[in-house]
Amino acid sequence: MRTYYMLNGEPVSPERLQINALDRGFLYGYSLFETMLVREGKPVFLQAHVERLLLSAADLGIVLPVTGDGLAAICRDALRCSGVGSGVLRLTATAGPDNGNAGSVVLAVREGVPYRPQQYEKGIAVLELDFPRNEKSPLVRHKTANYLENLLGRRKARSMGCDEGIFLNTRGRVAEGTASNIFIVINGEIWTPPVEAGLLPGIIRRLVIDYSSQTGLCCQEKNITRDELACAGECFVTNSLMGVMPVTELNGLPVGTGVPGPVTLKVADLYNKLIKAT
């Protein structure tokens, strides 16, 4: 699978991709990243991703070497130079060394999307994880490279034959997936945990909340208990690469009827229309 790289706006081969050994992004995971779907040679929802990174950088004290417009321009340049029409664009901004200097901006563009058509048709299996998401952490609302908890959670889920792991928070409420936001359907209403439950406010999560009413659906941000998750009639997860993914199995048991439900399919159709309009 072909991957194209840029470092600080300049094309670079993987062999010459060098980061300062004292960069705190390398040493401590003190960096931010955004992962974008590439469709027809364009990054989907680019502006929303750049704006989220800028807000997080300001909040976490990361000095960027370029402006927001500059970041967007670099992303477009990388896609144009890569020749990738369908795939993934990852934008990473590091904090740099502890001397007040700006860090680095690394872009990687690769062909292909890591989700299969069969997963959308049949739905995926998720596992409730046995260690919590700390909803009070100053990092939880930011997409940082301090990502080991998520990787361990996903590894645990996959070791149990599942596709995604779901975190509860320290109060036992549903928080988020290791790489996704979660929604359930109760009596025809869509519920998703609020940001205060301990989650990254995803780009697609926001779209579902804002646009569901256009299709006659009601989406609420609401604290969700384990019992409510277990008895949901439908469930789906979202992120910028998968879009809207049906969940048809939770902890080895079927969700609802065990097939993607009508509300989930309606939301997925809404999402597909929105990305075609971008």
Category of 252 on φ-ψ map: left (φ > 0), alpha (ψ -120 to 50) or beta: left
Report how far apart the first and last C-alpha atoms of the chain are (Å, whole number): 26
Same domain assignment for residues 196 and 81: no
Mean of pLDDT over the chain:
96
pLDDT, tens only, 159-175:
999 999 999 999 999 99
Residue ending a domain, among 111, 126, 147, is 111
**Which CATH number goes with the domain that contains 83?**
3.30.470.10
Q: Which residues contact 10 (CB under 8 A, 6 or more apart)?
A: none
pLDDT in tens, the chain (278 residues): 689 999 999 999 988 999 999 999 999 999 999 999 999 999 999 999 999 999 999 999 999 999 999 999 999 999 999 999 999 999 999 999 998 888 999 999 999 999 999 999 999 999 999 999 999 999 999 999 999 999 999 999 999 999 999 999 999 999 999 999 999 999 999 999 999 999 999 999 999 999 999 999 999 999 999 999 999 999 999 999 999 999 999 999 999 999 999 999 999 999 999 998 88
Distance CA 24, CA 19 (A): 10
Residue ending a domain, among 111, 143, 173, is 111
Distance CA 134, CA 123 (A): 28
Query: What is the number of structural domains in the chain?
Result: 2
* Residue 88 and residue 44 in contact, taking contact as beta carbons nearer than 8 Å: no
Range of the domain at 50: 3-111
Q: Which residues contact 115 (CB under 8 A, 6 or more apart)?
A: 241, 242, 245
Q: Which residues contact 161 (CB under 8 A, 6 or more apart)?
A: 125
* Residue 32 and residue 93 in contact, taking contact as beta carbons nearer than 8 Å: yes
Q: Which pLDDT value is given to residue 2?
A: 81
Same domain assignment for residues 132 and 246: yes
Q: Which pLDDT value is given to residue 1?
A: 65
Tell me the C-alpha to C-alpha distance, in Å, between residue 35 and each of 46, 132, 161, 252, 266.
10, 24, 25, 30, 25
Residue ending a domain, among 69, 86, 111, is 111
Distance from chain centroid for Cα 53: 13
* Residue 200 and residue 145 in contact, taking contact as beta carbons nearer than 8 Å: no
pLDDT, tens only, 4-54:
999 999 999 988 999 999 999 999 999 999 999 999 999 999 999 999 999
